[in-house]
Amino acid sequence: MCGIVGYAGGDSAAKIIYDGLLKLEYRGYDSAGIAVMEQGKITVAKRVGRVQKLAPSVQILEGNIGIGHTRWATHGKPSDENAHPHTSGKITVVHNGIIENYAELKSELSAEGRIFLSETDSEVIAALIDKFYDGDLLKAVIDCARMLKGSYALLAMCEGEERIVAAKYRSPVILGLGGNGNFVVSDEPALAGNCPELCVLEDGDFAVITPLSVAVYDSMKNPVIRAVYPVAAKEQSIVLRGYPHYMIKELWESPSAVSRTLSEFAKVQYGVEKLLKDAKKIILTGCGTAYHAALVGKRYFCEICKKSAEAEYAGELRYDMPVIGCGTVLVAVTQSGETADTVEAARLYKSLNAKVIAVTNCPHSAITRISDAVVPVAAGPEICVAATKSYSAQIAALLSMALAVGRSPECEVLKRELLSAPSTILKTLEEIDIYALAEMCARSRGVYFMGRGIDYALALEASLKLKEVSYIAGSGYPASELKHGALALIDGGTLSVFLINDEALASKSANAVEQTISRGGMVSVITSLREVGEQFSGRAEVITLPSSNRYLSPFAAAAAVQFLAYRTAVTLGRNPDKPRNLAKSVTVE
């Protein structure tokens, strides 16, 4: 959460930082600000609202060194005062993370006569650095960091020093090297088109960035060396290219994301197979959409591999006081690789001698540095807050993992059929008529998605996606649970959407559809089974998907429900790319 950008070079810092903040706005868009140094003096411009509100200030801010921030509010409501950067004395900072002991520190600093202008935890950092500053900004930042409890990616500038100092602990910091200057950012897309190389800071690292150099230090000011990688993000991959929104653009990129993921898996298959084949127990975890992918993966490992498998929210898993036996493997699914709960769950299981496999879209993220193996989700940059293509690619990765370990004759057939998943997604998007169902969603008081088996996992994802971008209340339920409470919610003002793609469970789900129709509820059925579509034709809004093996059905079903959420949001006039109160990478608890 929160996007940070720093630049030191030969060009206009304000313009470069502004462009970088636009690329990182998916990390937070409650407020934004830029601080630029010219001839040793720092000027700050910050506003509540979207990054674009800074455009007039960018034209008048001069200087070649600066820092910027786009905020997702944690401490303090969105306002001009709570926007970053924050200044105290000669020091100006931006911060991503949570300072858990900020109230104690603020009280102590206030008693010393420090004046605070915001409600944020981050302003305490600026005051601490200013307190410790004695002519050496790096030393002051290190001294400040020793006082902080929590997480931080912070950038600091001091009037009179032509440099930026960065500090990193459990929030991402990436250095961009080369081009016409040097960069420090919270996520790689901000580097697209600006520099050829990057390096990733480790927890406890500090960095000094000037127009001509970048240096990394430990907490004792000893120089350290970090690996350098090419910048993978491309400028053309993060522009709309004629699409009205990133969500629909990225949905149409799902086929290529799945295809690339299947290709990348071949490169890591041996190491992953080695970890999984002797696993006594597999635990899959993630948050939000990644958890829903983990639920699908659980089915794959149980049914295809005949392995004991569980799926649990990462935020719950890390506090479950787990008993880890020999042969436990944790599969951590995270789009960003920086999701706080997922990373901390992986750290916990690693400390208890479990093996950890990361399934992630970001190759240089925190999760990759603590894992025994990494399965790439090659979806490319995903700008829309609501996940689309990364979800389909996660499912492709998890199915590939299960098939690598499975030994039944069906596995060889599935491996061949999996190669057709990209064309199945494309066929779904090209042929599906979702507009009438989107209108039904838009006028409903609540929308309830139901399914059984893998379809239940898809029902949860469908409900989340619709809530995220359209703000329509609802839930995902197992269709088997309809009579155990959910049926009380059904009336003419609510819509029930049933996903039915597993032939073995189709008749059971069909019974739930009949019960809902008999209670006067609006009903839709999304199915790849011809006989199910025929059964409810004329009595429900039927959405027909391409037929496929039940293990492959999530690819078409995901495309359908993601498209449904998008169309509903557009119908209601919502911006699906930037849903209220949400951010893309949840790097704090």
Contact 442, 469 (CB under 8 A): no
Rounded-to-integer distance, Cα 497 and Cα 409, Å: 34
* C-alpha distances in Å from residue 531, one per residue of 126, 478, 510, 541: 65, 21, 11, 15
| Nearest C-alpha neighbor of 454 from the set 549, 575, 332 | 549
CA gyration radius for the chain? 25
Q: How many CB atoms lie within 10 A of CB 108?
A: 15
Mode of pairing for the β-strands spanning 174-177 and 181-185: antiparallel
3-state secondary structure at position 327? coil
Contact 34, 73 (CB under 8 A): no
Distances (CA, A) of 325 to 274, 373, 374, 402: 18, 19, 22, 21
- Give, in degrees to the nearest 5, the angle at Cα 9 between 6 and 11: 100
∠ at Cα 359 (342, 95), nearest 5°? 45
Phi, psi of 372 (to 5 degrees): -80, -25
Cβ–Cβ under 8 Å, residues 19 and 235: no
CB 224 within 8 A of CB 179: no
**Strand-by-strand arrangement of the 223-224 sheet:** 86-88, 91-99, 150-158, 164-169, 206-209, 214-217, 223-224
Catalytic residue among 2, 144, 158, 362: 2
* Tokens 């559809």, located at residue: 513
Asked if omega into 85 is within 30° of 0 (cis), the reply is yes
Q: Point out the catalytic residue in the list 168, 389, 467, 584.
A: 584
Q: What distance in Å separates the CA atoms of residue 67 and residue 201, rounded to the nearest whole number?
A: 18
Q: Classify the C-alpha dihedral 122-128-133-137 as positive or negative.
A: negative
- Helix %, strand %, coil % of the chain (to 5): 40, 25, 35
Q: How far apart are CA 295 and CA 454, in angstroms?
A: 8
Cβ neighbours of 59 (radius 10 Å): 12
DSSP assignments along 195-256, one per residue: -SEEEEPPTT-EEEE-SS-EEEE-TTS-EE---EEE----GGGGS-TT-S-HHHHHHHTHHH
584 is catalytic: yes
Question: In whole angstroms, what is the distance from residue 18 CA to residue 58 CA?
Answer: 7
DSSP 572: T
HSE toward the beta carbon, residue 498, CA cutoff 13 A: 33
Tell me, yes or no, if 2 is annotated catalytic. Answer: yes
Indicate which residues carry an active-site annotation. 2, 584
